Amino acid sequence: MTHPSTPPKHFKVVGLVSTGHFLSHFYMLLIPPLFPLLKDEFGIGFTELGITITVFSLVTGLTQAPVGFLVDRFGARKILLCGLLLESAAFIWIGLSPSYWMLLAMMGVAGLANAVYHPANYAILNASVQSGRIGQAFSIHTAAGMLGNAVAPVTMVLLLSVTDWKTGLIVCGVTGGLASVLIAANAGALQETASQTEIKQPSTARSGLRLLFSQPILLGALFFLCIGVAGHGVSAFGVATLTVIHEITVTEAATILSAYLFASPIGVLCGGWIADRIRHHHLFAGVCFVAIALAFFTMAGLSMRLEVIAFVFVIAGFFSGVVSPSRDMLIRSLAPPTEMGKVFGFVSTGFNVAGIIAPPLFGYILDHHNPSAVFWTVGAVSLLTVLTVVTTGQKRERNLA
């Protein structure tokens, strides 16, 4: 029987899994910086290029829950390695066979591979890390993903300064392949739940579906959906909204958004320490979302100096980060140990759905309403998130009573 790891093995496990999560987010943002080059190379418009990102997100959203079942059935280590190798190969192939249709097809393949990380990573962390350290493990895992987002555009810019975009993508793909070799070489440290290592059970697809469509798990998925909608509203439309309602320059607004995005991973790391020391994660998360809502209501309703705007945005970014480990701890508490993959895969689909519906929603608001309505909506969705997270936590506590 396996047992959760203790330091220094704990750090090894978290490091390996976080490497996979870093690459997941890194690959998500490799293609968008290339849009101007690809537009000329393929003779197409930005609409066609945008469709490639939609395909990536749509495939991930449709396959993440089924992949969770595969994680629980065949083991998280195998699925994680398959996903990382597949995504690496997809980007290598885009570089080797550059055409729009190959790009579209390989973005679909990459979207399928991307569906692996959340169900597999959370299953491994839950099985491998001591309960008293799991919040910190979740926080490092989340922060690694944020770092991947930040590094990807810079990496492509640096590669383009020394080579062409095709070679740049091949280099990035090979890097993922090397990372998969590193993870495979240390796979013994990545423990799995008893159902995958010791217990041979018949298929439990029906009971798994019953679990996913139970009220607490559905509320958890709605919880993730609300977080995703609010996050997209800020990251995608924050600059445009700030320039209109507060009459600041694009450079000033972009700097403020960068401060928000920088504050978030700092909050995540602080939130991991907090999550390991509290019991009622749903109440703590509720307080964080109230703080986020108040910050954006303030942004929408009051005229403020530039320094105050930046401060309020940083506060919102910090709280959006600090809540993440408690969010994950709450979902962990809802999932039986042998079904961690499918539960995290299912609820994480809320992020993908948000990525599909939020951009047109906020774009419509910005086009047809007072621009401050963007921040009012972000605040309102944050308050709705309070309702979902508190209700989810209460359902769990009643079930345990």
Percent of the chain with pLDDT over 90: 51
Averaged pLDDT for residues 326-347 = 88
Helix ranges (DSSP H) in 161-305: 165-185, 194-197, 205-212, 215-245, 250-275, 281-301
Q: What are phi and psi of 85, to 5 degrees?
A: -65, -40
In the numeric block, the tokens 């309702």 are attached to 387
pLDDT of 324 reads: 92
Question: What was the pLDDT predicted at 203?
Answer: 47
Looking at residue 288, its pLDDT comes to 96
Q: Residue written as tokens 């440290």?
A: 189
In the chain, pLDDT over 70 holds for what percent of residues? 93
Confidence of residue 380 (pLDDT cuts 50, 70, 90): very high
Q: What is the pLDDT of residues 136-156, one digit of tens each?
A: 999 999 999 988 888 888 888
Find the mean pLDDT for residues 95-101: 91
Give the per-residue pLDDT at 198: 43
The average pLDDT across 210-234 equals: 89
Instruction: Tell me which residue of 217, 238, 246 sits closest to 317, measured CA to CA.
Output: 238
Alpha carbon distances (Å) from 6 to 14, 131, 269: 11, 10, 19
Q: What average pLDDT does range 372-387 have in this prediction?
A: 94
Domains of the chain and any CATH numbers: 9-201 (1.20.1250.20), 208-400 (1.20.1250.20)
| CA-derived radius of gyration, the chain | 21
Distance, in Å, from the CA atom of 359 to the CA atom of 298, rounded to the nearest integer, reads 22
- pLDDT at 363 (0 to 100): 87
Look at residue 286 and tell me whether its pLDDT is greater than 50: yes
Lowest mean pLDDT among 133-137, 145-149, 244-248, 367-371: 367-371
Whether 200 shows a pLDDT value over 50: the answer reads: no
Which amino acid appears at position 218 of this protein?
A: L
Is pLDDT of 108 > 50?
yes
Q: Is the pLDDT of residue 194 over 60?
A: no
What pLDDT band is residue 396 in, cutting at 50, 70 and 90?
low
Q: Among 31-40, 57-66, 362-371, 389-398, which stretch is predicted with the lowest mean pLDDT?
A: 389-398
Question: Under a CB-based contact definition with an 8 Å cutoff, are residues 21 and 121 in contact?
Answer: yes
Q: Which amino acid is at 380?
A: A
Place of tokens 């709280």: 319
CA angle, residues 159, 145, 339, in degrees to nearest 5: 140
Name the more confident of 220 and 112: 112
Res 197: pLDDT: 44
pTM across the whole model: 0.84
pLDDT, tens only, 260-278: 988 999 999 999 999 999 9
Q: pLDDT at residue 352 above 90? A: no
Q: What does the alpha-carbon distance between residue 263 and residue 295 come to, in Å, rounded to a whole number?
A: 14
Q: Which residues of 5-39 are buried (b: 16+ CB within 10 A; e: fewer)?
A: beeeebeebbebbbbbbbbbbbbbbbbebbeeebe
Query: What is the chain's percent helix, strand, coil content, to nearest 5?
Result: 85, 0, 15
Q: Residue 193: which pLDDT band, with cuts at 50, 70 and 90?
A: low
Residue 243, class by beta-carbon neighbours within 10 Å (0-12 exposed, 13-18 middle, 19+ buried)? middle
Position 164 scores a pLDDT of 93
